[in-house]
Amino acid sequence: MRRLGLATVLGLVLAVFGLAPIASADPAPAALTFSTDTATTTPGGSVQLSMTLTNNRTYDVWFVYQTIDPTWLTTQRPDLKYSFTGCTLATAAGSTPCSGTGPANLGGNYGATIPPGQSRTVTLTLQIAADSGCNGNIGFYSYFYAEFSDSANTNGGPVYTPDVRVACA
């Protein structure tokens, strides 16, 4: 009886651990990365904020919804004055003006379909007012959602990105 119990337990352990799926390091279905042309700015200066959306799936990206919003700490600074004054989409033929509605809805700016393995980059110009207070970071976060031609979406829905910060001194 004791042998049967040990054999059963050993078989169960092998079945559970021997047949368990191996964890994989698959990339996110659609990755959104951020970069700036400078880490600091001053009153009257500007910063180019670029966002690159990469399609890591084997299906086309059909639809993208994205916003970019100031962090809570940025909104709490009444002395800070800034605006987004320009938007361009990088294409093989050069930069073209954005087609979306700007920071409130950047999704349309990435252009139509994004094929598998390809990327699109949208660049916003952040203009700091000449009379702006400038004693800390200007921070932004983004929300984005992408749908693919196989009717899937990124991670089941919204993805919040890490903060993007520019020092203003």
CA distance 130 to 151: 47
Grade residue 4 by pLDDT with cuts at 50, 70 and 90. very low
Find out whether 28 and 157 touch, Cβ atoms under 8 Å. Answer: no
pLDDT (tens digit, 9 = 90+) per residue, 107-152? 888 876 899 999 999 999 999 999 998 888 888 888 888 888 887 6
Cα distances from 90 to residues 96, 98, 112, 132, in angstroms, run: 7, 9, 13, 30
CA distance 136 to 169: 7
* Strand blocks (E) in the chain: 30-36, 40-41, 46-55, 61-70, 82-91, 94-97, 119-128, 136-148, 159-160, 164-168
Burial of residue 123 (CB within 10 Å: 0-12, 13-18, 19+) is: buried
Tell me, what's the pLDDT at 160? 60
| pLDDT for residue 58 is more than 60 | yes
Q: Given the DSSP bridges, would you call strands 164-168 and 136-148 parallel, antiparallel or unpaired? A: antiparallel
- In the chain the domains, ranked by start, together with CATH numbers, are 33-150 (2.60.40)
Q: Which residue has the higher pLDDT, 81 or 99?
A: 81
